[in-house]
Amino acid sequence: MAAPRRCAVVGRPITHSLSPVMHRAAYDALGLDWSYEALDVGPGGLTAFTEHLDEAWRGLSVTMPLKREAAELAVHRSDDVTFLGVANTLVREHDGWHASNTDVPGALTALREAGVECVRHVRVLGGGATAASLVLAAHRLGASRVSLHLREPARAAETLEVARALGMEVDVVGLETPVLDPVDLLVNTIPPTATAGRSHELVEASGAVFEALYDPWPSPLLRAAEEEGLPACSGLDLLVHQAVLQVVAMTGQVVDPQVLRAPAFDAVAAR
């Protein structure tokens, strides 16, 4: 029998992470005697952390603020990691750590599961690393135009760079700018307090909604989308599908998304 392997999610803050309940459920379903922890690693601390891991360690799920450092320390980077400059998955191979980004394909799966197959114009609230990944996902569904609604445009340089590198038409407006043009997809990556009272205004000008957050649950945007009868997916859907891909990368085995979805949704409902 193969020796048990170790995996973990790393970042800060980390106590809120749903990754342990999902990955442990996957290991149980696959009959693997593996462990998965949530470990606090602060900014700039990932490289030193990995240098002290023994051979039992197989993989790391990487959350903020370590995604850029994860990409930088890897000896091999997937195409998405090279393009975006951030990684959320590290897998230890014989030659070192291999980095991938499962957020992009995870988002695509979540959108298609919700019935979103084609996007031309996407509106994105926020401009951080999650926004950049979702801009890339929307582009792969056909999006050629992105409207970025930003509170601080200067802090969204990476997302702007991604959109422009993809050849997309880019509009940058303030977060409070009234919504005028209809879009095929609305993506939200910022706390609901930042758009308080505007959920219906935003949703009514959208063909579908991707709410990247899951706290609070359900969010005002998801409630508004349900009331309007629009296709919608959530940060939990993204979390599940990106974690499924992480399990495949780390274990080499495929797991049913529902195995991860049930404990994740139960954990959120219990909060």
More confident residue, 1 or 130: 130
What's the CATH number of domain 6-101+237-269, 3.40.50.300, 3.40.1160.10, 3.40.50.10860, 1.20.1260.10?
A: 3.40.50.10860
pLDDT at 98 over 70: yes
Q: Which one of 67, 68, 98, 145 is the catalytic residue?
A: 67
* pLDDT tens digits, one per residue of 33-49: 999 999 999 999 999 99
Secondary structure (DSSP) of 6-71:
EEEEEESS-TT--HHHHHHHHHHHHT---EEEEEE--TT-HHHHHHT--TTEEEEEE-TT-HHHHH
**What is the average per-residue pLDDT within 246-262?**
98
Q: Decide if 6-101+237-269 and 116-230 have a common fold.
A: yes
Q: How far is it between the farthest Cα atoms of the chain?
A: 61
Give CA–CA dist 138/45, Å, rounded: 32
* pLDDT tens digits, one per residue of 48-58: 999 999 999 99
Q: Is 188 helix (H, G, I), strand (E, B) or coil?
A: strand
**What is the average per-residue pLDDT within 115-134?**
95
Active site annotation includes 177? no
* Domain map (residue ranges) of the chain: 6-101+237-269, 116-230
**Closest to 251 measured CA to CA, from 29, 58, 21:** 58
**What is the average per-residue pLDDT within 241-266?**
98
Count how many Cα atoms sit within 13 Å of the Cα of residue 269 in the half-sphere of its side chain: 6
Answer whether 80's CB lies under 8 Å from 100's CB: yes
% of residues, the chain, pLDDT over 90: 87
% of residues, the chain, pLDDT over 70: 99
Residue type at position 248: V
Label residue 2 by pLDDT band (50, 70, 90). low
Label residue 152 by pLDDT band (50, 70, 90). confident
**pTM listed for this prediction:** 0.94
Place of tokens 């760079």: 161
Give CA–CA dist 226/231, Å, rounded: 8
**What is the average per-residue pLDDT within 89-102?**
98
144 DSSP assignment: -
**What is the average per-residue pLDDT within 185-209?**
93
The separation between the first and the last C-alpha atoms of the chain, rounded to the nearest angstrom, is: 38
Residue type at position 271: R
pLDDT score of 140: 98
Residue type at position 254: V
**Closest to 99 measured CA to CA, from 112, 110, 111, 85:** 85
pLDDT at 3 over 80: no
CATH of domain 116-230: 3.40.50.720
What would the two tokens of residue 18 be? 């749903």
pLDDT at 174 over 80: yes
Mean pLDDT for the chain?
95
pLDDT score of 177: 87
Label residue 269 by pLDDT band (50, 70, 90). confident
Answer whether 189's CB lies under 8 Å from 125's CB: yes
